Amino acid sequence: MMTFFKKPQNLLWEWLAAIPVVLVIYYIFDDIFIGLASAFFLIILHHYLVFFKKIQKSNEQMVTLKKLMEGIKELPIGLCICDTSGSILWKNNKIDDYFKSSSLQDKSNILKLFNQKDSKFLTDSVNSDRVMTLEIQTDQYVEYSIVDLPDSGYYLVYMRDISDRIYLENSRKIFFGNISHELRIPLTVLKGYIEILENERKQQKYEKSDLKPYKNMQTQVDRLLNMVNQLLTLTKIEGNPFFEDKKVVDMPDIIYSIYDEAQVRNSNKQKISLYLDDELMVKGHDQSLREVVSNLVYNAIEHNPKNSEIEIHWEKVQKDGQDYAMFSIKDNGTGISKEHINRLTERFYVVNSARNRGSNKNVGSGLGLAIVKNALKMHDSELIVESEKNKGSCFKFYLPAYQEVVN
């Protein structure tokens, strides 16, 4: 029921304001009752006018809300609200399109679109930080996320068609894969002929400078072959962004073998120190993790000046109350400017600075850290870069430590 007079003090002020009206009516009609009745009528009329103004404003808001909901229903992204069992309370037209594409007649439960029967799927998806991908039909993909609406018992499901993006990504991977294979064969042949020509020249009387052209050609061919191999590795990793068959990886063995090889190839005479927990294992993909460590170690060697110090750490640390394995590689070299740090893992991005010039090495391909980024993404991890100009750099990542279950 509508209540006109919510606060006594408001009512008092209204009656005080009505006193002049009462006096005027009393003066005209010489009847105090008519004056009081007139004042009461005016107060009631005032409240009705305020009430109807609120109703009019509420109706305008309802019209605006209706228009907004109509606009949401026509959005090119899929939105729906469902309960914890997956039953749909509201959905927009795009969700209907996705049901139609999947040839599903029953559109009452969102779990049918995901080809799931257990509502636990919704709970697990809500708790996942990853934006997931669903194949609606052949060559039609959507990315989706599910959000818990606080204190309501409902979920908001968001879907966006990414078919064009997937197509372009796949086309790019195929292109790089094909061109890499096509380049690898002629480069390998060219490398062989250069070696033959160099050996023939050595069998004749020659000066040391006579071999310089062969050495330069060999260096450039090796560089191109290395780039081709990195492209093939990156294409392979990007083609399998997630995998199910995680195995126990002997990271200490991988790190030590790369460290041992790096010591032999260390032409810059840098001091490389290794601090290794030789019992610390993780679960993952051994070849991908070998690529990560190898690229980070050789990146540190190639991009730091002579006699610099490099430290490699593999140790157990506590993070968010859990045991993690942390790999880090630190140096006291020239460091990296802040404007470059966020772009280091982009494909073909190269920091053309004193960091490269001081190392007396050819500038890299810009693919090594892109490989690291994608390989770590396979393991739900990321590369963390800490660097300051003229104070060195630190590259590190975390993986959950493997705990052997003892029966």
pLDDT the model gives residue 266 = 76
Produce one character per residue of 127-146: b if its CB has 16 or more CB atoms within 10 Å, e if not. eeeeeeebebeeeebbbbbb
CA angle 174, 178, 180 (to 5 degrees): 120
User: Would the pTM of this model clear 0.85, i.e. be above it?
Assistant: no
In Å, how far are 175, 257, 266 from 308, measured between CA atoms?
A: 40, 21, 11
pLDDT the model gives residue 1 = 39
Q: Domain 166-239: give its CATH code.
A: 1.10.287.130
Q: Which residues of the chain have pLDDT under 50?
A: 1-7, 353-360, 406-407
CATH class of 247-400: alpha beta
Residue 399: which H helix or E strand, with range? strand 392-400
The domain limits of the chain are 8-73, 78-161, 166-239, 247-400
Handedness of CA 184, 186, 191, 195 (dihedral sign): positive
CB atoms within 10 A of CB 376: 23
In Å, how far are 3, 10, 85, 137, 147 from 44, measured between CA atoms?
A: 11, 13, 51, 65, 48
pLDDT the model gives residue 53 = 73
CB atoms within 10 A of CB 358: 16
Rounded to whole angstroms, the Cα distance separating 303 from 262 reads: 14
Q: pLDDT tens digit string along 130-165?
A: 778 888 888 888 988 888 888 888 898 889 898 888
Q: Is 295 within 8 Å of 372 (Cβ atoms)?
A: yes
Q: Domain 78-161: give its CATH code.
A: 3.30.450.20
pLDDT the model gives residue 255 = 94
Q: Which amino acid is at 59?
A: N
Q: Which amino acid is at 12?
A: L
Q: Look-up: residue for tokens 């003066």?
A: 27
User: Using H for helix, E for strand and C for coil, what is the string for 115-142?
Assistant: CCCCCHHHHHHHCCCCCEEEEEECCEEE
Catalogue the E-assigned strands of 1-139: 78-83, 88-91, 132-137
Rounded to whole angstroms, the Cα distance separating 71 from 66 reads: 9
Question: Do the domains 78-161 and 247-400 sit in the same CATH topology, yes or no?
Answer: no
- Walk across the sheet containing 392-400 and list its strands: 271-276, 309-319, 322-331, 392-400, 384-388
pLDDT the model gives residue 20 = 66
pLDDT the model gives residue 312 = 95
